[in-house]
Amino acid sequence: MKSIPFYVVFALLIVGCDVRCDVKVGGAGANPRKLDLKKPQKDAEAVVTAYFQALATNGYAEAVANIGPQAFQKMSREQWIQAQQDFSSKRGSYLNHKFKRRTVRLKVGTSDTTTTVTVECQVTYSKHTDTETFSLLKGPTDGDFKIVGHKLDFPP
């Protein structure tokens, strides 16, 4: 099997291309594993979609379940729920979202891998349209991605 230079794999990870490539992991005699960049994107998109579906029904407690503890450094869960209720009165009801850009980043250690996905969405509310960017993180022992950052370009 022909090896792919590290800088090519690194460039693909930064760009977040929809590419499947073989990367040799491990030492001599190790079995190569496929590095699938589409799976983390799809998994992260599913979390963002679940987040918006919860907001659509005013299920703020369900929406907050998609957010990781790292996001609550400056604001408690209860404050976040209250802020979402306040935003909802200004921006209106959630109508839909469309994914625009995605970036996948892998932090590979000697014993584990952490995956970060950044997802940009065009979101339409009944009174407001915005571009929202989500940062999602999945650690080596996490079952699903969690939202750890959320930026609104034009907050209501």
Q: Are 126 and 95 in contact (CB under 8 A)?
A: yes
Residue 144 or 112, more confident: 144
- Which residues is 117 bridged to in the sheet? 104, 136
Secondary structure element (H or E) that encloses residue 150, with its range: strand 146-152
User: pLDDT tens for residues 18-37?
Assistant: 333 434 344 444 444 566 77
Question: Which domains does the chain carry?
Answer: 1-36 (no CATH), 37-152 (3.10.450.50)
Q: Which residue has the tokens 């993180």?
A: 137
Share of the chain above pLDDT 70, in %: 76
User: pLDDT tens for residues 98-124?
Assistant: 999 999 998 887 778 889 999 999 999
